[in-house]
């Protein structure tokens, strides 16, 4: 080897040593989840919100370190972190922060759905708890954190929302309505435990859905939910003034669910160019029990030659009206006759609405749908 | 006098008297009502219906009720001498219709005087035939925008939606169909996420005699222990016998909510469908609603994917079978209602995995008695019903047709409902326990819950509306307490949690505007340390004005304060919204909207504000009519401002302005 060649080789080795020299010494050495324990119910899925606090310690001349701390997946084990494997959560958690200072704290937030089959399998193996395990690694060192999930009955589970199902008032999941038609949305939440629900109803209008949907808050929900089971949450009246596609969703912020907020689409289409109007109802209020002198009242609509009050069976979607009343346009209220009441089954729930009809027999306005109960 | 003449002379007065009586009878006796024939050979949808009531006195006429297809149309009847005339306020649909004339007697009974069936035919060949479509198509072009992300959405787009409604019928058969069709040049805007055209919900129904078949979105199961709100896509076939008193239906539907042109009718894969049969009987002929008995059998698989509009993971690959028997009876002159249902299931949580399937049972019993029915007729008598409910659902009780249900509950509840005039009151007291199967590894929690709901909607004393309008007041309260009565899973016997909630609202309605106020307070305590102890107060106010000529204004405000007592952190949220609409002439309308939402935490870890502006100028080029589509041109835009005072790097502003041309059409007239 020539002198020049030796010099080049030595320079390359020196450069390599410089490049390979560890920038500092650091290692992931502590993982602490918050909360460390949450009860889950046997027979039902659960949603657990976890904040993983990961500490990375710096020490010069120590173990080599990486700027990125990550966890590839979480795992459910029965009884302890080393117990039988019940399932995995293949979700990557990763953050990159350059090594600096003595201690760096990473916070990873995760909402995990614990499937009912995982809880059931642990119970059948004779274990009283499930353990959720994550290992965080910077490429040179790792540490493990665990969240303990004791298994209880349905009444002892921590407050969580396991499932949300959105639908429109008639039970459908897609609506095509005329401009100005009344439209309402509702949510059915499967809940364990009790506590304060924080959520927002949001709508994206056609002025944004044709491009990048922009959701605006139409109602904030703050409600203490009691009772394990299905909780009905009525939504706000939805805008239907402009033609086009809309999207509506319920975004729950607490308890943080382990899934994306569900959403529904509806379209405002057809119509006569604004001829169909909303018909405001005055009484009775939603959900009342039909009484002997219950009067159905609404606000008069210009151009109405008659009004038709329809009563529909609330347990049957899309059915024709069971019964109803037609009154002339100069009246804005109606009372059910004995014959009309005879078509209603005691103890059953009914939906009702009012429609305005013009002199040519066309519907020109329609009210929202409300429910009542027959004693 | 000859003998024959003498005999005629003796009979003559009797004959004259008989003739007078017979001749006078039609003038004073009430004749059976008679539906007069149509003016034309085929009765048209808007043709008046005439019923002759010869010899009826005014008192009886005043007590008459006429029903058209079970709808009371008495208020729109006219009288032309002895003839009652009903001019349908809407064109009657093609098909068979029913008229019924009853009298509400002074004793409170309903006396049927007549019942008729008539047809409105489409043509001599078909009784019913028709296809109607209503919808619109929009071409949208983004004129400008900012802050829309990278890459920005496409500039041009075509969107459309339409509903169709068709039917054909004659004799004893009928076919009906209804559905929704969607069009979007952006595949992400369609339910199936691809293509140009997609379907929404649809249902095709065919009937012949007592047989019926359905294809599309339907609810084949009655709600109960095995099925919740279960509307799915699929197939069903049914038989309705003995005047509707006996019914049987077989079905196969998707287990998940499905939309769009995918998965067909969702019945091909056992892992994705729920199938079964339902038998229903009303054995009491004189009163079919006196007793209803139903038997349900089903079997289903859950693919583990969430359906349309659903969040939350379903059980991947689970399977379940179930059977249920239910009876619902109305006794003692319909005062007493008794309902019972028993169900059993076999459910495999991991669908053939290592864990064995579980068998479990559930029972639901209800008794309700109407103490007072308020049916004296003068409108002042109160109505009171009391009842008791018992429900026991096993720890492993699950059904593929009821994915939202939570098992493991035993409930005993007493309730009462009262109403008089505009006052309605409902109260309930219940006790619930879990660990129904008494599993040794599980603790037991006992829950006590009390609820109260009050609605007061007083009637105005006179014809004129008082200064405060038509008011409606509501008051609701819930108080719940949970205790650990048997320890386990790290829980020791003692208090577990306590929750209290009270809500009050008042609304006042006037002819052209209304306003409302509401206030909610709640408190929640967790004695196990799993959840924070919280207090919450929310106040809402809203005003809605509909002006003459189409102008409108809607204003709402909501303020919410939640306090985490453990961490001593307050969470405050304010939401305000203003929407204005104003017409300029007959063709131009301007709409403006502003929405403000602000949320902040008292520890300064969160302080965000979102301001959204929307505006639209809409020009009705022409309205839709017979054989002519409507055309509308709109200039619309949105501006969204997100401000994060804790992390200004999160601030974002976006703007979008669109020009939209819409063509729309309505069903032919």
Per-residue pLDDT at B28: 54
Tell me if chain B has a CB within 8 Å of the CB of A374.
no
- Is there a domain that residue A203 lies in? yes
User: In chain B, what residues touch A209 (CB-CB under 8 Å)?
Assistant: 189
Percent of residues in chain A assigned helix, strand, coil, to nearest 5:
10, 50, 40
Per-residue pLDDT at A12: 47
Tell me if chain B has a CB within 8 Å of the CB of A109.
no
Instruction: Give the whole-angstrom CA distance, residue B215 versus residue B222.
Output: 18
Measured CA distances, A262 to A202, A206, B263 (Å): 11, 19, 21
- Is there a domain that residue B388 lies in? no
Which chain B residue's Cα is nearest to A178? B135
For an interface test with B, the pick among A227, A239, A357 (most B C-beta atoms closer than 10 Å) comes out as A227
- Domain enclosing residue A140, as ranges: 7-154
Place of tokens 């049916």: B375
Do A217 and B610 lie within an 8 Å CB cutoff?
Answer: yes
From the list B90, B191, B313, the residue facing A113 with the nearest CB is B313
Instruction: Give the whole-angstrom CA distance, residue A182 versus residue A237.
Output: 7
CATH number of the domain to which A137 belongs:
2.60.40.10
**Total number of domains constituting chain B:** 3
Which residue among A94, A123, A154 closes a domain? A154
Same domain for A358 and A239, yes or no, is: no
From the list B157, B309, B666, the residue facing A166 with the nearest CB is B309
* The dihedral sign for the CA sequence B59, B63, B66, B72: positive
- Is there a domain that residue A109 lies in? yes
Same domain for A294 and A363, yes or no, is: yes
Terminus-to-terminus CA distance in chain A, angstroms?
105
- Is there a domain that residue A217 lies in? yes
Same domain for B100 and B152, yes or no, is: no
Cβ atoms of B585 and A239 closer than 8 Å: no
Same domain for A31 and A137, yes or no, is: yes
Per-residue pLDDT at A19: 44
**For residue B524, what are the β-bridge partners?**
B499, B534
Tell me if chain A has a CB within 8 Å of the CB of B149.
yes
Residue B253: CB atoms within 10 Å: 31
Which chain B residue's Cα is nearest to A266? B161
Residue B456: CB atoms within 10 Å: 16
Strand residues in B171-210 grouped as ranges (E): 173-184, 197-208
DSSP type of residue B188: G
B246: Cα separation from own chain's centroid: 26
- Is there a domain that residue A226 lies in? yes
Is pLDDT at A20 greater than 60 in this prediction?
A: no
Same domain for A120 and A36, yes or no, is: yes
Cβ atoms of A74 and A133 closer than 8 Å: yes
Strand B383-393 versus strand B358-373 pairing type: antiparallel
Which residue among A107, A129, A154 closes a domain? A154
Which residue among B364, B395, B425 closes a domain? B364
**Total number of domains constituting chain A:** 3
Same domain for A14 and A133, yes or no, is: yes
At A13, the pLDDT band (50, 70, 90 cuts) reads very low
- Domain enclosing residue B645, as ranges: 137-160+532-669
Do A375 and B488 lie within an 8 Å CB cutoff?
Answer: no
Which chain B residue's Cα is nearest to A160? B531
For an interface test with A, the pick among B489, B547, B583, B622 (most A C-beta atoms closer than 10 Å) comes out as B489
Do B200 and A292 lie within an 8 Å CB cutoff?
Answer: no
Which residue among A237, A268, A299 closes a domain? A268
Cβ atoms of B346 and B320 closer than 8 Å: yes
Which chain A residue's Cα is nearest to B331? A346
Same domain for B102 and B231, yes or no, is: no
Could you tell me the pTM of the whole model?
Answer: 0.79
**For residue A358, what are the β-bridge partners?**
none
From the list A167, A326, A339, the residue facing B110 with the nearest CB is A339
> DSSP assignment of B117-141, as one string?
EEEE-S-SS-SEEEEEEEEEEEEEE
From the list A217, A289, A327, the residue facing B595 with the nearest CB is A217
Which residue among B344, B364, B384 closes a domain? B364
Tell me if chain B has a CB within 8 Å of the CB of A79.
no
Same domain for A134 and A180, yes or no, is: no
A-B C-beta contacts closer than 8 Å? 517
Same domain for B576 and B665, yes or no, is: yes
User: In chain A, what residues touch B99 (CB-CB under 8 Å)?
Assistant: none
Do B349 and A117 lie within an 8 Å CB cutoff?
Answer: yes
Do B312 and A47 lie within an 8 Å CB cutoff?
Answer: yes
Same domain for B548 and B654, yes or no, is: yes
Cβ atoms of A259 and B313 closer than 8 Å: yes
Do A318 and B581 lie within an 8 Å CB cutoff?
Answer: no
B384: Cα separation from own chain's centroid: 25
From the list B308, B520, B562, the residue facing A173 with the nearest CB is B308
From the list A124, A214, A289, the residue facing B355 with the nearest CB is A124
* The dihedral sign for the CA sequence A156, A157, A160, A161: negative
Per-residue pLDDT at B487: 93
Tell me if chain A has a CB within 8 Å of the CB of B460.
no
Same domain for A169 and A212, yes or no, is: yes
Do B480 and A226 lie within an 8 Å CB cutoff?
Answer: yes
Same domain for A101 and A196, yes or no, is: no
A240-274 confidence digits (pLDDT tens): 888 889 999 999 988 888 888 889 999 988 665 44
Tell me if chain B has a CB within 8 Å of the CB of A91.
no
Any residues with CB less than 8 A from the CB of B28 and at least 6 apart, and which?
B55
Per-residue pLDDT at B9: 45
Do A194 and B524 lie within an 8 Å CB cutoff?
Answer: yes
Cβ atoms of B546 and B512 closer than 8 Å: yes
Tell me if chain A has a CB within 8 Å of the CB of B609.
no
Instruction: Give the whole-angstrom CA distance, residue B341 versus residue B295.
Output: 10
Tell me if chain A has a CB within 8 Å of the CB of B177.
no
- Is there a domain that residue A299 lies in? yes
Same domain for B355 and B244, yes or no, is: yes
Reduced to 3 states (helix: H, G, I; strand: E, B; else coil), residue B21 is: helix
DSSP type of residue A345: P
Reduced to 3 states (helix: H, G, I; strand: E, B; else coil), residue B641 is: strand
**For residue B549, what are the β-bridge partners?**
none
Same domain for B151 and B245, yes or no, is: no
Collect the ranges in chain B with pLDDT lower than 50: 1-27, 376-379, 669
Same domain for B216 and B349, yes or no, is: yes
- Is there a domain that residue A1 lies in? no
Tell me if chain A has a CB within 8 Å of the CB of B96.
no
For an interface test with A, the pick among B311, B388, B525 (most A C-beta atoms closer than 10 Å) comes out as B311
Instruction: Give the whole-angstrom CA distance, residue A3 versus residue A1.
Output: 7
Reduced to 3 states (helix: H, G, I; strand: E, B; else coil), residue A265 is: strand
From the list B152, B157, B311, the residue facing A210 with the nearest CB is B157
Same domain for B91 and B213, yes or no, is: no
Same domain for A81 and A18, yes or no, is: yes
Tell me if chain B has a CB within 8 Å of the CB of A319.
no
Burial class (CB in 10 A: 0-12, 13-18, 19+), B605: exposed
Which chain B residue's Cα is nearest to A317? B219
Per-residue pLDDT at A316: 64
Which residue among B120, B151, B184 closes a domain? B120
Same domain for B153 and B78, yes or no, is: no
For an interface test with B, the pick among A41, A150, A224, A238 (most B C-beta atoms closer than 10 Å) comes out as A224
Same domain for B99 and B208, yes or no, is: no
Tell me if chain A has a CB within 8 Å of the CB of B575.
yes
- Is there a domain that residue A167 lies in? yes
Is pLDDT at A145 greater than 80 in this prediction?
A: yes
Same domain for A231 and A289, yes or no, is: no
Instruction: Give the whole-angstrom CA distance, residue A220 versus residue B641.
Output: 18
Tell me if chain B has a CB within 8 Å of the CB of A259.
yes
- Is there a domain that residue B407 lies in? no
For an interface test with A, the pick among B69, B88, B89, B573 (most A C-beta atoms closer than 10 Å) comes out as B89
A157-175 confidence digits (pLDDT tens): 888 888 899 999 878 888 8
For an interface test with A, the pick among B106, B188, B255, B309 (most A C-beta atoms closer than 10 Å) comes out as B309
Per-residue pLDDT at A243: 83
For an interface test with A, the pick among B62, B67, B68, B72 (most A C-beta atoms closer than 10 Å) comes out as B72
Same domain for A16 and A119, yes or no, is: yes
Residue B470 C-alpha, separation from nearest chain A C-alpha, in angstroms: 7
Terminus-to-terminus CA distance in chain B, angstroms?
79
Residue B28 C-alpha, separation from nearest chain A C-alpha, in angstroms: 28
- Is there a domain that residue B207 lies in? yes
- Is there a domain that residue B527 lies in? no
Per-residue pLDDT at B594: 95
Do A210 and B419 lie within an 8 Å CB cutoff?
Answer: no
From the list A45, A165, A315, the residue facing B313 with the nearest CB is A45
- Count of H-run helices and E-run strands, chain A: 4, 28
User: In chain B, what residues touch A171 (CB-CB under 8 Å)?
Assistant: 219, 229, 231
Q: Which of B26, B115, B27, B113 is nearest to B64 (CA)?
A: B113
Same domain for A287 and A260, yes or no, is: no
Instruction: Give the whole-angstrom CA distance, residue B422 versus residue B455.
Output: 8
The ipTM assigned to this model is 0.79
CATH number of the domain to which B58 belongs:
2.60.40
Do B157 and A172 lie within an 8 Å CB cutoff?
Answer: no
Same domain for B100 and B217, yes or no, is: no
Place of tokens 């969607």: B182
Reduced to 3 states (helix: H, G, I; strand: E, B; else coil), residue A340 is: helix
Tell me if chain B has a CB within 8 Å of the CB of A54.
no
Per-residue pLDDT at A317: 57
Instruction: Give the whole-angstrom CA distance, residue B337 versus residue B314.
Output: 36
Q: Which of B514, B606, B622 is nearest to B562 (CA)?
A: B606
DSSP run (H or E) holding A367: none
- Is there a domain that residue A2 lies in? no
Residue A29 C-alpha, separation from nearest chain B C-alpha, in angstroms: 26
Residue B55 C-alpha, separation from nearest chain A C-alpha, in angstroms: 24
């Amino acid at each position: 080897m020539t002198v020049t060649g030796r010099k080049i080789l030595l320079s390359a080795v020196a450069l390599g040593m410089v490049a390979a020299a560890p920038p500092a010494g650091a290692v992931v050495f502590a993982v602490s989840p918050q909360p460390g324990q949450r009860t889950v119910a046997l027979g039902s899925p659960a949603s657990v919100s976890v904040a993983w606090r990961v500490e990375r310690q710096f020490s010069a001349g120590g173990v080599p370190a990486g700027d990125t701390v990550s966890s590839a997946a979480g795992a459910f084990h029965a009884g302890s972190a080393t117990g039988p494997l019940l399932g995995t959560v293949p979700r990557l958690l990763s953050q990159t922060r350059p090594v600096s200072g003595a201690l760096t704290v990473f916070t990873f937030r995760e909402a995990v759905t614990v499937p009912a089959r995982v809880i059931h399998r642990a119970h059948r193996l004779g274990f009283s708890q499930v353990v959720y395990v994550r290992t965080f690694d910077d490429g040179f060192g790792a540490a493990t954190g665990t969240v303990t999930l004791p298994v209880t009955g349905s009444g002892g589970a921590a407050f969580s929302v396991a499932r949300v199902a959105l639908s429109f008032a008639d039970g459908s999941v897609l609506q095509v309505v005329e401009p100005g038609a009344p439209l309402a949305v509702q949510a059915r939440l499967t809940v364990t435990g009790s506590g304060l629900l924080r959520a927002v109803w949001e709508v994206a209008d056609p002025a944004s859905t044709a491009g990048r949907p922009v959701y605006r808050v139409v109602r904030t929900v703050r409600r203490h939910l009691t009772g394990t089971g299905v909780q009905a949450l009525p939504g706000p009246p939805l805008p239907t003034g402009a033609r086009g596609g809309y999207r509506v969703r319920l975004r729950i912020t607490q308890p943080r669910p382990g899934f994306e907020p569900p959403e529904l689409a509806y379209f405002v289409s057809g119509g006569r160019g604004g001829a169909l109007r909303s018909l405001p109802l005055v009484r009775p209020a939603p959900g009342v029990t039909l009484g002997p002198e219950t009067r159905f009242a609404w606000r008069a609509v210009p151009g109405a030659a008659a009004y038709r009050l329809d009563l529909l069976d609330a347990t049957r979607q899309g059915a024709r009206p069971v019964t109803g009343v037609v009154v002339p346009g100069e009246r804005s209220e109606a009372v059910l006759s004995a014959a009309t009441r005879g078509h209603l089954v005691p103890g059953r729930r009914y939906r009702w609405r009012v429609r305005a009809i013009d002199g040519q027999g066309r519907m020109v306005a329609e009210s929202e749908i409300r429910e009542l109960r027959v004693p | 006098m000859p003998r024959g003449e003498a005999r005629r002379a003796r009979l003559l007065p009797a004959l004259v008297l008989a003739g007078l009586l017979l001749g006078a009878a039609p003038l004073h006796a009430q004749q059976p009502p008679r539906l007069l024939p149509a003016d034309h050979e085929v009765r048209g949808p808007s043709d008046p219906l005439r019923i002759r009531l010869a010899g009826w006195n005014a008192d009886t006429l005043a007590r008459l009720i006429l029903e058209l297809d079970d709808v009371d149309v008495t208020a729109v009847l006219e009288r032309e001498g002895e003839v009652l005339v009903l001019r349908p306020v809407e064109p009657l649909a093609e098909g068979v219709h029913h008229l019924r004339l009853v009298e509400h007697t002074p004793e409170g009974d309903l006396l049927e005087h007549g019942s008729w069936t008539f047809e409105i035919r489409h043509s001599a060949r078909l009784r019913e035939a028709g296809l109607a479509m209503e919808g619109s198509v929009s071409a949208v072009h983004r004129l400008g925008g900012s802050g829309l992300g990278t890459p920005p959405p496409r500039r041009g787009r075509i969107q459309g939606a339409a509903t169709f409604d068709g039917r054909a019928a004659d004799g004893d058969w009928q076919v009906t169909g209804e559905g929704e069709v969607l069009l979007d040049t952006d595949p992400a805007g369609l339910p199936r996420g691809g293509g140009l055209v997609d379907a929404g919900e649809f249902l095709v129904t065919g009937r012949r005699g007592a047989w019926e078949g359905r294809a599309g979105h339907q609810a084949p199961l009655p709600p109960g222990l095995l099925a919740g709100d279960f509307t799915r896509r699929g197939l069903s076939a049914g038989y309705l016998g003995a005047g509707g008193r006996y019914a049987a239906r077989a079905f196969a539907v998707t287990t998940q909510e499905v939309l769009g042109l995918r998965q067909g009718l969702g019945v091909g894969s056992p892992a994705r469908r729920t199938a079964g049969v339902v038998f229903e009987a009303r054995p009491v002929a004189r009163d079919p609603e006196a007793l209803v008995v139903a038997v349900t059998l089903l079997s289903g698989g859950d693919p583990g994917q969430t359906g349309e509009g659903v969040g939350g993971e379903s059980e991947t690959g689970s399977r379940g079978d179930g059977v249920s028997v239910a009876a619902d009876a109305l006794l003692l002159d319909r005062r007493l209602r008794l309902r019972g249902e028993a169900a059993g299931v076999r459910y495999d949580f991991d669908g053939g995995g290592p864990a064995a399937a579980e068998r479990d049972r559930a029972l639901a019993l209800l008794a309700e008695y109407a103490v007072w029915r308020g049916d004296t007729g003068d409108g002042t008598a109160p109505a009171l019903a009391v009842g008791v409910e018992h429900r026991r659902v096993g720890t492993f009780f699950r059904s593929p047709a009821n994915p939202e249900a939570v098992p493991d509950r035993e409930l005993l509840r007493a309730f009462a409902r009262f109403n008089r005039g505009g006052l309605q009151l409902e109260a309930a007291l219940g006790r619930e326990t879990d660990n129904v199967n008494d599993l040794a590894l599980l603790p037991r929690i006992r829950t006590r819950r009390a609820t109260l709901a009050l609605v007061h909607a007083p009637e105005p004393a006179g014809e004129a509306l008082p200064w405060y309008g038509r008011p409606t007041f509501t008051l609701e309260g819930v108080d719940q307490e949970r205790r650990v009565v048997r320890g386990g899973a790290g829980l020791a016997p003692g208090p577990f949690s306590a929750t209290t909630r009270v809500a009050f609202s008042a609304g006042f309605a006037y002819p052209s505007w209304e306003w409302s106020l509401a206030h909610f307070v709640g408190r929640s305590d967790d004695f196990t340390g799993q959840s924070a102890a919280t207090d919450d107060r929310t106040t809402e106010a809203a005003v809605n004005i509909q002006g003459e000529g189409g102008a409108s204004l809607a204003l709402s405000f909501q303020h919410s304060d939640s306090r985490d007592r453990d961490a001593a952190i307050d969470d405050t949220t304010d939401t305000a919204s203003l929407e204005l609409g104003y017409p300029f002439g007959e063709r131009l309308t301007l709409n403006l909207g502003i929405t403000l939402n602000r949320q902040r935490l008292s520890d300064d870890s969160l302080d965000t504000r979102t301001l959204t502006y929307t505006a639209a100028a809409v020009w009705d080029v022409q309205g839709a009519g017979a054989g002519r589509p409507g055309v509308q041109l709109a200039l619309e835009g949105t501006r969204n401002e997100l401000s994060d005072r804790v992390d200004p790097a999160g601030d974002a502003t976006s703007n979008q302005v669109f020009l939209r041309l819409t063509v729309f059409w309505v069903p032919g007239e």
